[in-house]
């Protein structure tokens, strides 16, 4: 057994000794001296390593091999029932000053937090292996890219990080002797919620997560680094790290337009990223750049350019079907890891919302027999899949473009039963930032806590912004000055309901009709009508051919109700007050101006098509 301060190379490849710089090697040894693992393994990202770790995970019961004839290369993981979602109440931003974290983040004093975590981590990996996982966010060699190192005691994390990031020896070559890398420490401890913390130290470019094995808490490349830490870095360096998909829409004449869109979890973001156009849109193609996170910078042309920092998808399974997301169902046919879904008697997966009814003999997400008609869900509502980007039939090779793609529109959207119309366009950049800043959505099972409660989730970043939200809004306004070719800004709501309680809009692939109006607005081919809260399409502006949607229903989907919007703006004002003195005055003034302009007999103003 090696001493805990020795570095043990991957046994599958004896030549794979650590090649990182001295700063990295010294840090790994320092953490090993603290945690006292039996061995330290440097991951190289090879197929041999993947096969070895997968066999080990199956032998130890961490993964369950699924039916390889039906789903080759696919496995199931069941997590601890107390560890199935992000724990926002246990997630902290540990800045030197509390005001830097802001009122929407949990804050903890850095020195005290480090002391507490060191106490928990002391000797925590005895009897375990510490894996050194080098990864890069963004394409290798891209000016957008950032290097991270995660130290973890979880094989499940290693195998997921291999899917979610560009991971392995090439990352160490990119890092070289540089000290500029994100330091991530993850230890599952005993999965006791009383000893569970996810802590971010932006000033140190460091993340420490203990007591959880759930992906959102344990895959440190994802929300922890790619959003919370990266948003702080972006503020310092003049770019944006956002909870956004990136999508390319190609018209029949070959014109491709790229958009970025922010939605809270379980609001249709993955479905939109992999959208299949309806039959009436022959010749249209959708290209997925990313489904969850976008890093955006000002390009040499003065426009906004984006990369997806990730290399895979970690998304909610329930609700996915061939109707809602055909591409997702196809990409999950091989080389994927499923977490907390149900398992069929023949070793396949099942969840609520699939095209096929639950078979007899189903085992639920905890491995217990499940009967039809049970009040309990067979798959956990926040059950997940992890799959490589290239599995997606709609994957775009531009996802690997070091320069990224040019963004022509930013879309905000949430889950709202009332008030917000099907689509709304901002009148200018400040108005667009206001729309994002006041975005609200009903809470979902992706985060621990009550479900169905309306909360403000500005830019879908409330749980993920690594600094003061008022300063974040100010940074968005500042970016509007730096960007010389501003994208248009839209808001959508696929979830508006009628008086009968049913959804008004059919959603899924039919959302292409709304996207086409946006493209026509971008390229100067469509008009709309000006309302006090923004521009909405006339019914004639939406391409509804082939859609069995009564005119009255389309009218309801686009309706602006003055009374509802007055209440909405009053609620937004209350949220602004909670942000406190850092709330930009430009957004406060815009709220007041919109509120003043709303009255029941406001005249309709037509908006001409313009570029």
DSSP 141-161: T-TT-EEEEEEES-HHHHHHH
Q: What's the rounded Cα separation, in Å, for the pair 93 and 107?
A: 5
Options 94, 187, 224, 267, the catalytic residue: 267
Average confidence score pLDDT of the chain = 93
Q: What's the rounded Cα separation, in Å, for the pair 512 and 508?
A: 8
Q: What's the rounded Cα separation, in Å, for the pair 216 and 86?
A: 6
- Active site includes 267? yes
Residue 243: which of 174, 290, 301 has the closest Cα?
A: 290
Which pLDDT score, from 0 to 100, does residue 255 have?
A: 95
DSSP class of residue 412 equals E
pLDDT above 90 as % of the chain: 88
Which pLDDT score, from 0 to 100, does residue 444 have?
A: 56
Mean pLDDT score, 8-14: 37
Residue 161: which of 335, 310, 377, 349 has the closest Cα?
A: 310
Which pLDDT score, from 0 to 100, does residue 447 have?
A: 53
* Confidence class for position 604, pLDDT limits 50, 70, 90: low
Asked if residue 22 has pLDDT above 80, the reply is yes
Q: Which residue has the tokens 């690997």?
A: 400
Asked if residue 12 has pLDDT above 70, the reply is no
Q: What's the rounded Cα separation, in Å, for the pair 370 and 376?
A: 9
Q: What's the rounded Cα separation, in Å, for the pair 155 and 152?
A: 8
Which pLDDT score, from 0 to 100, does residue 384 have?
A: 96
Rg (the chain; Cα; Å): 24
- Do residues 345 and 283 lie in contact, with contact meaning Cβ atoms separated by under 8 Å? no
Residue 98: which of 90, 89, 88, 109 has the closest Cα?
A: 109
Q: What's the rounded Cα separation, in Å, for the pair 133 and 149?
A: 6
Q: Which two tokens stand for residue 33?
A: 């001296």
Asked if residue 3 has pLDDT above 60, the reply is no
Q: What's the rounded Cα separation, in Å, for the pair 436 and 242?
A: 12
Q: What share of the chain is helix, strand, coil (3-state, %, to 5)?
A: 30, 25, 45
Q: Which residue has the tokens 């070895």?
A: 52
Consecutive H or E run containing 556: helix 551-558
Q: What's the rounded Cα separation, in Å, for the pair 432 and 309?
A: 24
* Confidence class for position 8, pLDDT limits 50, 70, 90: very low
Q: What's the rounded Cα separation, in Å, for the pair 459 and 473?
A: 10
Q: Which of 266-280, 343-357, 394-408, 579-593 has the lowest mean pLDDT?
A: 266-280
Mean pLDDT score, 165-180: 95
Tell me the CA end-to-end span of the chain in Å, nearest whole number: 68
Which pLDDT score, from 0 to 100, does residue 14 have?
A: 33
At 585, is the secondary structure helix, strand, or coil?
helix
Q: What's the rounded Cα separation, in Å, for the pair 467 and 550?
A: 46
The answer to whether the predicted template modeling score (pTM) of the entire model surpasses 0.75 is yes
Please report how the helices 47-59 and 155-164 are oriented relative to each other, as an axis angle in degrees rounded to 10: 140
Tens digits of per-residue pLDDT, 238-259?
999 999 999 999 999 999 999 9
Residue spans of alpha helices (H) in 438-523: 469-482, 512-522
* Confidence class for position 441, pLDDT limits 50, 70, 90: confident
Consecutive H or E run containing 182: strand 182-187
Longest CA–CA span in the chain (Å) reads 80
Domains of the chain: 22-61+85-237 (3.40.449.10), 241-311+396-607 (3.90.228.20)
* Confidence class for position 59, pLDDT limits 50, 70, 90: very high
Asked if residue 82 has pLDDT above 50, the reply is yes
Q: Pairing between strand 64-65 and 75-77?
A: antiparallel
């Amino acid at each position: 057994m090696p001493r805990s301060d020795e570095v043990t190379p991957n046994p599958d490849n004896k030549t794979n000794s650590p090649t990182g710089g001295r700063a990295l090697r010294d840090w790994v040894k320092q953490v090993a001296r603290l945690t006292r693992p039996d061995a330290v393994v440097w991951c190289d990202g090879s197929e041999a390593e993947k096969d070895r770790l997968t066999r080990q995970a199956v032998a130890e019961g961490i993964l369950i091999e699924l039916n390889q004839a039906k789903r080759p290369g696919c496995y199931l993981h069941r997590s601890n029932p107390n560890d199935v979602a992000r724990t926002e109440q246990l997630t902290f931003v540990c800045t030197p000053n509390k005001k830097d974290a802001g009122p929407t983040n949990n804050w903890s004093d850095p020195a005290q937090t480090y002391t507490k975590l060191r106490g928990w981590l002391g000797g925590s990996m005895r009897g375990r292996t510490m894996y050194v996982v080098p990864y890069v966010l963004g394409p290798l060699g891209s000016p957008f890219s950032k290097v991270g190192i995660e130290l973890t005691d979880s094989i499940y994390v290693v195998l997921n990080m291999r899917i979610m990031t560009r991971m392995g020896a090439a990352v160490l070559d990119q890092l070289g002797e540089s000290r500029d890398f994100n330091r991530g420490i993850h230890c599952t401890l005993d999965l006791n919620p009383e000893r569970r913390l996810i802590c971010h130290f932006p000033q140190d470019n460091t993340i420490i997560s203990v007591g959880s094995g759930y992906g959102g808490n344990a895959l440190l490349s994802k929300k922890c680094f790619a959003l919370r830490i990266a948003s702080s870095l972006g503020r310092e360096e003049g770019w944006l790290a956002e909870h956004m998909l990136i999508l390319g829409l190609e018209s029949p004449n070959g014109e491709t337009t790229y958009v970025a869109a922010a939605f809270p979890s379980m609001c249709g973001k993955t479905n939109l990223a992999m959208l299949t156009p309806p039959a009436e849109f022959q010749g249209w193609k959708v290209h997925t750049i990313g489904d969850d996170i976008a890093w955006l910078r000002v390009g040499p042309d003065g426009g906004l350019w984006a990369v997806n920092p990730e290399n895979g998808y970690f998304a909610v399974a329930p609700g996915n079907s061939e109707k809602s997301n055909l591409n997702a169902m196809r990409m999950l046919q091989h080389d994927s890891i499923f977490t907390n879904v149900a398992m069929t008697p023949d070793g396949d997966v099942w969840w609520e919302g699939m095209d096929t009814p639950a078979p007899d003999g189903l085992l639920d997400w905890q491995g217990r027999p499940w009967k039809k008609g049970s009040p309990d869900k067979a798959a956990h509502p926040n059950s997940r899949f992890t799959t490589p980007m290239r599995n997606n039939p709609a994957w775009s090779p531009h996802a690997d473009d070091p320069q990224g793609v040019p963004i022509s529109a930013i879309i905000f959207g949430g889950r709202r039963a009332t008030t917000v119309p099907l689509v709304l366009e901002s009148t200018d950049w400040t108005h667009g930032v206001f729309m994002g800043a006041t975005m609200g959505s009903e809470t979902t099972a992706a985060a621990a806590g009550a479900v169905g409660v309306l909360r403000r989730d500005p830019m879908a970043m409330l749980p993920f912004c690594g600094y003061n939200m008022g300063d974040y809004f100010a940074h968005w306004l500042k970016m509007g000055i730096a960007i010389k070719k501003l994208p248009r800004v839209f808001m959508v709501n696929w979830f508006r309901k009628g008086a009968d309680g049913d959804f008004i809009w059919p959603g899924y692939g039919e959302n292409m009709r709304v996207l086409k109006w946006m493209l026509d607005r971008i390229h100067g081919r469509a008009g709309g009508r000006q309302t006090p809260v923004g521009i909405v399409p006339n019914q004639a502006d939406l391409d509804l051919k082939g859609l069995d949607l009564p005119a009255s229903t389309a009218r309801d989907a686009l309706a602006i109700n003055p009374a509802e919007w007055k209440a909405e703006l009053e609620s937004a004002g209350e949220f602004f007050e909670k942000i406190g003195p850092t709330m930009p005055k430009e957004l406060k003034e815009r709220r007041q101006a919109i509120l003043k302009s709303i009255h029941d007999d406001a005249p309709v103003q037509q908006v001409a098509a313009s570029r």
